[in-house]
Structure 1
Amino acid sequence: MGARGGVGAAVLGFAFLSIAACSGVFYQPGKVRKTDPADLGMEYQDVRIESAGGRKLHAWLFPSGNGAEERGTIIQFHGNAENISTHFLSLSWVTKHGYNFITFDYSGYWDSDGAPGQRTLNEDALAALKYAVEFNGARAAETGTRPVLAAYGQSLGGTVLMRALADFSERRVVDAVIIESAFPSYQDIAREKLSILWETWLFQPLAYLLVSDAYAPEKTIASLSGTRILVIHGTEDNTVPIHHGRRIFELAGKPKDFWEVQGGRHIDSMVGHDGKYRRMLIEYLGGPTKK
């Protein structure tokens, strides 16, 4: 192989490595516990959710507390990195407002079986939704009420949740779907990441060849029409820029709402902004707010 051939092979190899890196960014599972809710004085239960093929997914269940009237259940679909021992912190506060809170790890994350992938996470999401529906139904039977059921997807979790809902036969019992800092297409976000560096700029078209959109929600979001959808996105989100959120909102059917978080960064609406969006979320779900 001549010098030119060697350079060409090196460039092509770099391109493939770049695409592989983009694909790898989708899944960065944390393998260790970072925070124990018990250390924060929080009551919770370890739960196992059975996914496809008998895979066991590790989950935490936080019961509604603080003497608040029980209002429903919120299940979290977290982002691509770490695990539930960090992600629970952004939403577990809902227990103070009367909501049971469920968070789970995808296959290959921390103590969950298997390895992550688009199809695998779709299966996991369907299993988690089924668990949440059954749990909320049991609470309804016990309390004699009709508790709210909401699903909250953050970043990759929002993308996974939207696609899974299109396949979920019981989605009509999900009262609200919240999608924060998510993207509708794996290929588009991969291409966008390649465009950032001059070394990979020329290889952007390869994203459409080497990254799959088989489980991207872009073509299925419209089928969720009739399901109440709230899209949240920060104006300063440099990880998943806000135009992805706007695209999701554009594709979604009614009823739908869009919260543009001024100055908001990646999935920070519920952990900053002086609690503004926490109060708005509780109001959106139909309950009184607390400071």
Structure 2
Amino acid sequence: MKKSTWTLGVPLAAVAAGTIYLSNKLFNIAFKRVSQVPETSAEKQQYAQQYYDYVDWFRAIPKQTWYLHQGDATKQMVASYIPNPKTTTQTVIISHGYKGNRETMANFAKMFYDMGFNVLLPDDRGHGDSAGEYISFGWLDRLDYLDWIDQVIHEVGDSAKILLFGVSMGGATVEMLSGEHLPTQVKAIIADCGYSSIKQELVYLLDKQYHLPEYPIEPLVSTINRTRLGYYLGDVSSTEQLAKNTRPILFIHGSQDTYVPVSMAYENYRATKAPKQLWIVKDATHAESFWAHPQKYQQRVNHFLKTYFY
């Protein structure tokens, strides 16, 4: 009896150890910072020349470097601030995507700059020039954005009119930020292809990319995240924050998004009772809506701003 129990315990222990190892590996793949921006997806390679034209513009335009917690290597956050040559109180704060940085949002920076906005582009935790060993998928970043908002008000003045804008993880970041107590200067929000929750996004990608079940992987990854970053994945969501939102918000999502499914756009849209608009961009994949229809994208953004911001 003892022998059979022992022999049964050996493979079970091996399976458990293997599952823990796999979960830790997946956590590091998904949550650990990277030193370089990964290659874009194959379908977006067609926009490479346009993308680098925007990057060239971003690198050449006069700008300032702003900091949070300057001098503390473990907490220092970095952002680029581009003041519009035409004096204005209108300022957009742009939140970048997963494993990107402020430079990867150059196209949106130029769009809003040309529309007459001052532009602030932070590097989030674990990205670009900002500190952080791990990526928080917007949840801890939302706290930094409260400080960035305060810096904008200090720079521009109490008459500042602030727009929050983000794409992908950045979209989820401004959605999560929407549930916080925001200064009156924050007038509106635009969220492009943000996920409804970190947990739902992880479970979706576990299935689609790795063909792995939710259990026991997600609870183990969530526990690792609790140890490293201080919260379980199921404790936070865009939809719960959006339920507390009072600012007008425009949701944008590609109809063919297979990275953050378009169903999440509808979840996010239903979650908020604030004034809202939803634009599902036909045939666009993840974070492709601007690239596929740049003029239409700006027109739709401008229509929203004319309704709720200007």
Q: Is the 8 A contact 1:91 1:270 kept in 2?
A: no
d(CA) in 2 for partners of 1:81 and 1:265?
18
User: Which residue is equivalent to 1:217?
Assistant: 238
Q: How many residues align?
A: 275
Q: Which residue of 2 aligns with 1:190?
A: 202
User: What secondary structure is seen at the aligned counterpart in 2 of 1:166?
Assistant: coil
- Describe the shift of the 1:245–1:13 C-alpha distance in structure 2 as closer, same or farther (beyond 3 A): farther
Cα distance in 1, alignment partners of residues 92 and 132 from structure 2:
25
**Which stretch shows the higher mean deviation, 155-164 or 18-27?**
18-27
* Range moving further from structure 2, 185-194 or 110-119: 110-119
Contact 1:59-1:102 at 8 Å conserved across structures: yes
- What amino acid is the match of 1:95? Y
Question: Which residue is 2:165 aligned to?
Answer: 152
Closer, same or farther: CA 200–2 of 1 in aligned 2, 3 Å:
farther
Distance change in 2, residues 1:216/1:117 (3 Å): farther
Alpha-carbon distance in structure 1 between the residues aligned to 2:81 and 2:58: 16
Distance 1:258 1:33, change over 3 A: closer
Please list every run of 5 or more consecutive structure 1 residues that lacks an aligned counterpart in the other structure.
none
> Is 1:127 matched with 2:144?
yes
CA shift digits 1:86-110 (9 cap, x unpaired): 2333433211110011111122222
Question: Which amino acid counterpart does residue 139 of structure 1 have in structure 2?
Answer: V
Task: Go from structure 1 to structure 2 and tell me whether the alpha carbon gap of 1:263 and 1:164 turns closer, same or farther (over 3 Å shift).
Answer: same
Deviation at 1:247, TM superposition (A): 0.5
Deviation, structure 1 residue 257:
0.9
Q: Aligned Cα RMSD in Å?
A: 3.2
**Aligned amino acid, residue 218 of structure 1:** T
| The one of 61, 74, 86 aligned to 1:42 | 61
Alpha-carbon deviations, 1:238-285, whole Å to 9, x = none? Answer: 110101111111111121111111111112222331421112212322
> Which residue type is aligned with residue 45 of structure 1?
Q
Matched residue type, 2:295: G
TM-score by length of 2: 0.75
Indicate the SS of the match to 2:208. coil
Choose which of 65, 70, 73 in structure 1 pairs with 2:91.
73
1:228-247 alignment to 2 at 5 Å?
Answer: 228-247=248-267
CA contact (8 A) 2:194 2:260 kept: yes
- The answer as to whether partners of 1:33 and 1:85 remain within 8 angstroms in 2 is no
> 1:165 deviation in Å?
3.3
User: Percent identity of the aligned residues?
Assistant: 19
Residue by residue, what CA displacement relative to the aligned partner does 1:104-146 show, whole Å, maximum 9, x if unpaired?
Answer: 1122222212323539x544432333323442464246xxxx4
2:229 is matched with: none
Q: Which residue of 2 aligns with 1:94?
A: 112
Change (3 A) 1:255 1:37: same
> 3-state SS of the aligned residue for 2:289?
coil
Q: 1:30 to 1:95 in 2, by over 3 A?
A: farther
Shift in alpha-carbon separation, 1:147–1:280, aligned structure 2, 3 A? farther
Shift of 1:176: 0.8
- 1:258 counterpart = 2:278: yes
Q: State the distance in 2 between where 1:229 and 1:44 align.
A: 28
Where 1:213 maps in the other structure, the secondary structure is: helix
- 2: CA distance, partners of 1:95 / 1:199: 42
Change in Cα spacing, 1:86 to 1:220, as seen in structure 2 (3 Å) is closer
Contact conserved, 1:165 with 1:171, CA < 8 A, in 2? no
What letter is aligned with 1:243? S
Residue 231 of structure 1, CA deviation: 0.9
Q: Given the superposition, is the C-alpha separation of residues 266 and 106 from structure 1 closer, same or farther in structure 2, using an over 3 Å criterion? A: same
Q: 2:156 aligned with 1:139, yes or no?
A: yes
The answer to whether 1:110 aligns with 2:97 is no
- Please show how residues 57-72 of structure 1 align to structure 2 within 5 Å: 57-65=77-85, 70=88, 72=90
Distance in 1 separating the partners of 2:126 and 2:154: 29
Change (3 A) 1:262 1:32: same
Task: Tell me if structure 2 keeps the 8 A contact 1:105–1:112.
Answer: yes
Q: Mark the CA change 1:198 to 1:206 in structure 2 (over 3 Å): closer, same or farther.
A: closer
Note closer, same or farther for the CA distance 1:200–1:127 as it changes in structure 2 (3 Å cut): closer
User: Does the C-alpha gap of structure 1 residues 57 and 209 become closer, same or farther in structure 2, counting only changes over 3 Å?
Assistant: same
